[in-house]
Amino acid sequence: MNLLEMLNDQIGDQLSKHASGFLGESPDNVSNALGGIFPSILGKVADIAQSGDGAKSILDMAKGADDSILDDIGGLFGGGVDSVNNVLGSGSGMVNAIFGGGLGSIIDKVAGLSGLKKSSSSSLIKMAAPFLMGMVKRAVMQKGLDAVGLGKLMGNQRSFVDKLLPAGLGSVLGLAKNVMGGTVDAASNVVGGTVDAGKKVVGGTVDAAKNVAGATMDTGKKVVGGAANVAGAAVDTGAKAGKSILKWLLPLLLALLALGFLGRQGCSTGIDAVDNAAAKTMNATEGAVNKTADMAGDAAGAVGDVAKKGANAVGDAAGAVGNAAGNVVDATGNVVKGAAGAVASAFGNVNEAAAKALNTVKFEAGSAGSNMMSYIKGGFKGDGKFRIKNGNFATGSDVLTAETKRELNNLTAILNAYPDVNLNVSGFTDSTGDAGKNLDLSDRRAKSVKAYLVTKGIAGKRVAAKGFGAANPVASNDTPEGRAENRRIELSVR
């Protein structure tokens, strides 16, 4: 879970637009400042949460945050100075607890990096903190985290923070070394070293087996030939190992024989000793070569088993693909090609656990989830577009209603069951009012839907959101009923 990504998906550029007007600063400068402020706050919060007491304090702070401001930024600033000052007052307590005596240095650094006045930098940091803690609160509530769980979640955020934190802010923040990241790197190095050692011991066998497995999974071709080649490589490896042993054993043997010849000119004891040494050397050589041959044989046999299993897996995969294609053809009466085929392929990857949970969901008739399930079960007939039945918004608002959220919850169950399915979320308005404002409103509504799906655990990259204003009406704008039809959110599979 990437909290910074989730926050960005939720608020987009709305905070920087409204905050710039409130502060009297340029939107670009405010946007640049927020790009450093959010990772700075989260980085410091992550540091604090690595201790038991610190995690408890952050948990209490998150639970006390008002996460509703994430859903209605326009309404927040539209409520006047008092509404914004309430957020600033809440944020002031948060940043003082988070940064302590270092807050002044952070304010100066943000101002210097972004071009904001110091007073604006101070206000923006206080304004940003409640939004970030609101997102932390949603993560806590969604996952049912206690202090220990929150500490782990915060530890996982450090890699995301490090990627986005502007140069110079890290040193001012005094962030601790990313212990979790170091642990992962260390573990990676250990595993890497182990694999390298394994490669040296087995030689070409591991690489050959890897190539066979890769070729098997990619095309399912030449499995038997690949196995034969691997077996040959394994035997050849054994032969090379034997030669390597003989390189040093044979010269030693010759030296011992030479000593034996010289010994015969002397005493019989020397002759016996040399003969015994030579015999032992020969036995050792023969044993080493035999063991090497055995190792090569075992390796070839093991690779043969891998190749055989790979061939079986390819056969099973081919059968599954054939069955899936057959289902599509049987259901539609035609061979699925082009975009429809791509959609069918996306639905082909199923998370079995999530699919079981999906079977328990009761979809409202006519809802986007109900229509999508009919689309799946019906062999992907139609254009793959689904209107949110309860996609209602208050006039001029992009805040989701409880009914809309319930419908999106059911939709989330489908997306969890089919992890390769992606969505386009399109927002539309009627033709009443200013076209530019309608376009902006439709875009905010579409992004509200996306943001909600992200808070439910759907990766942001799986959902694209865009507003189209009054374009593409589905009914006449001359009647109240028609205008209501045109104010809609549409989902399409991609």
pLDDT of residue 491: 96
Per-residue pLDDT band for 136 (boundaries 50, 70, 90) equals: very high
For the residues of 355-405, what is the DSSP string, one character each? HHHHTT--PPTTSHHHHHHHHHHTTS-S--EEE-TT----TT--PPPHHHH
Is the model's pLDDT at 243 over the cut of 70?
A: no
Q: What is the spatial distance between Cα 255 and Cα 109, in angstroms, rounded to a whole number?
A: 76
Per-residue pLDDT band for 317 (boundaries 50, 70, 90) equals: very low
Is the model's pLDDT at 61 over the cut of 70?
A: yes
Is the model's pLDDT at 314 over the cut of 80?
A: no
pLDDT of residue 143: 87
Give the percent of the chain with pLDDT over 70: 66
For the ranges 40-44, 285-289, 475-479, the lowest mean pLDDT is seen at 285-289
Is the model's pLDDT at 215 over the cut of 60?
A: no
Alpha-carbon distances of 491 from 25, 293, 366, 378, 392, rounded to whole Å: 37, 63, 14, 18, 15
Is the model's pLDDT at 178 over the cut of 90?
A: no
Is the model's pLDDT at 386 over the cut of 70?
A: yes
**For 73-178, where are the alpha helices, taking DSSP H only?**
73-78, 81-99, 103-114, 118-143, 147-164, 169-173
Per-residue pLDDT band for 316 (boundaries 50, 70, 90) equals: very low
pLDDT of residue 369: 93
Per-residue pLDDT band for 366 (boundaries 50, 70, 90) equals: very high
pLDDT of residue 3: 95
Is the model's pLDDT at 253 over the cut of 60?
A: no
pLDDT of residue 177: 53
Per-residue pLDDT band for 15 (boundaries 50, 70, 90) equals: very high
Is the model's pLDDT at 26 over the cut of 90?
A: yes
Q: What residues contact 191, with CB distance under 8 A and at least 6 apart? A: none
For the ranges 388-397, 423-432, 442-451, 464-473, the lowest mean pLDDT is seen at 388-397
**For 174-267, where are the alpha helices, taking DSSP H only?**
179-202, 204-218, 223-264
Tell whether the torsion through CA atoms of 368, 373, 375 and 378 is positive or negative: negative
Max CA separation in the chain (angstroms): 124
Q: What is the DSSP letter of 166?
A: P
pLDDT of residue 400: 87
Q: What is the DSSP letter of 348?
A: T
**pLDDT tens for residues 405-424?**
999 999 999 999 999 999 99
For the ranges 188-197, 435-444, 479-488, the lowest mean pLDDT is seen at 188-197
Per-residue pLDDT band for 342 (boundaries 50, 70, 90) equals: low
What are 72's two structure tokens?
A: 């209605």
pLDDT of residue 145: 93
Among 128-137, 161-170, 208-217, the range with the most confident prediction by mean pLDDT is 128-137
pLDDT of residue 396: 82
> Which of residues 448 and 197 earns the better pLDDT score?
448
Is the model's pLDDT at 209 over the cut of 60?
A: no
Q: What does the mean pLDDT of the chain come to?
A: 74
> Which of residues 275 and 96 earns the better pLDDT score?
96
- Asked if 37 and 482 touch (Cβ cutoff 8 Å), the reply is no
Give the percent of the chain with pLDDT over 90: 43
pLDDT of residue 181: 40
pLDDT of residue 393: 78
Beta bridge partners of 108: none
> Which of residues 129 and 399 earns the better pLDDT score?
129
Angle (CA) 104 106 110, round 5°: 120
Per-residue pLDDT band for 157 (boundaries 50, 70, 90) equals: very high
**pLDDT tens for residues 429-467?**
999 999 999 999 999 999 999 998 998 889 989 999 999
Per-residue pLDDT band for 142 (boundaries 50, 70, 90) equals: confident
Provide long-range contacts, Cβ within 8 A and 24+ apart, for 21-26: 21/77, 22/77, 22/84, 23/116, 23/120, 23/123, 23/124, 24/120, 25/116, 25/117, 25/120, 26/115
> Which of residues 220 and 11 earns the better pLDDT score?
11
- Asked if 444 and 485 touch (Cβ cutoff 8 Å), the reply is no
> Which of residues 211 and 351 earns the better pLDDT score?
351
Per-residue pLDDT band for 251 (boundaries 50, 70, 90) equals: low
> Which of residues 32 and 215 earns the better pLDDT score?
32
